[in-house]
Amino acid sequence: MPILPLLLFGKIEEAQNGQLAFLANPKYEEFLYTTKASIIIVNNAQELKQPIDATLIKVPDAYLAFATLLDKYQQIQRQQLTGIQQPSFVHATAKIGENVYIGAFAYIGENVIVSDGAKIYPNAYLGNNVTIGKDTVINPGATVYHDCIVGKSVIIHAGAVIGSDGFGFAPETDGSFKKIPQIGNVIIEDYVEIGANTTIDRATIGSTLIKSGAKLDNLLQIAHNVEVGNNTAIAALTGVSGSTKIGKNVIIGGQAGLAGHLQIADGTKINGKSGVSKSIKTPNTSVTGTPAIDYAASMRSQAVVRNLPALEKKVIELEKMLKELIKKTDV
């Protein structure tokens, strides 16, 4: 039986003898001298202020090195999972690659392709004509609707829904709504990660597209025909309305909202809880607020707002002085 990660790794403030820890944030430097960890990964620039008992491994980026180590360990753990557990349903037309794991109660529909090394955990659902790329992980209870395509080395977390109908309804003359069929799909390219309970709607026509390297947090709503660019990161509780195109290397904070049919330029940074109602066409722009405006301008506005009570007091004083001057002039 493999050793649990809990026994191998520890936080620097809690690690015990025999465990490996890391130090990247200077706020935790004090624990470098009190931890019981046997091995600590630190940045090359780390200077010691007193002796320590642990073995230090110096690297250019301690946080990235530790993350890489955890990733390698997790890959080893996952490689040990293979085979098809029962009860589960795998349609006769499905194509299952080598070293695939399919957990109990998973459903694999008609003409599904599950590529080599993929892991489909219990209670996952893959609809008809779905393609799952090499080494992709579909976690428990995740749903991938029919005709959707998932690339290689993708991670889809528990409860995520890929390919549900877009929110398309045409108003009728009697005030009711007629559903517009959503006949497109979702394409998720390589090395994407999708958080728990995130929903990505299928396109009305064409594809909703999540490009390579994008990272989507938990509880996101990505509407029909949206495009999310390469290496873009979106934090939890954000909603992106239909047909909005988000560029590459964009960072969007939690609880932000983006209106539909917008263009968001490469490298844009959108602060948490911002409401974006207009396209952002200049690359590497930072915005905040509702409606979202340039970050620096917003900070200046907030500074003015904080000073309003003092400004009001000065205005009142000036009004009094003006009245006194008027009285003296009249005399």
Per residue in 130-153, pLDDT tens? Answer: 999 999 999 999 999 999 999 999
CATH architecture of 83-295: 3 Solenoid (2.160)
Average pLDDT for the chain: 94
Beginning with the edge strand found earlier in the chain, give each strand of the sheet holding 101-102 in spatial order.
83-84, 101-102, 119-120, 137-138, 155-156, 193-194, 215-216, 233-234, 251-252, 269-270, 286-288, 293-294
198 and 210 Cβ atoms separated by less than 8 Å: no
Return the higher-pLDDT residue of 286 and 76.
Answer: 286
Q: Is the dihedral of CA 155, 158, 163, 168 positive or negative?
A: negative
Q: Catalytic pick from 91, 146, 157, 224? A: 224
Give the single-character DSSP code of 114. E
Helix residue spans in 235-293 (DSSP H) = none
Residues 17-66 pLDDT 10s: 999 999 999 999 999 999 999 999 999 999 999 999 899 999 999 999 99
Q: Which of 92, 99, 96 lies closest to 113, judged by CA?
A: 96
pTM: 0.85
pLDDT of amino acid 331: 58
**Residues 23, 41: contact at Cβ < 8 Å?**
yes
Q: What is the CATH number of domain 5-79?
A: 3.40.1390.10
Give domain limits for the chain: 5-79, 83-295, 306-330
Looking at the chain, the whole-number percentage of residues with pLDDT higher than 90 is 83
Is-catalytic flag, 157?
no
pLDDT at position 297 is 83
Tell me the three state secondary structure of residue 248: coil
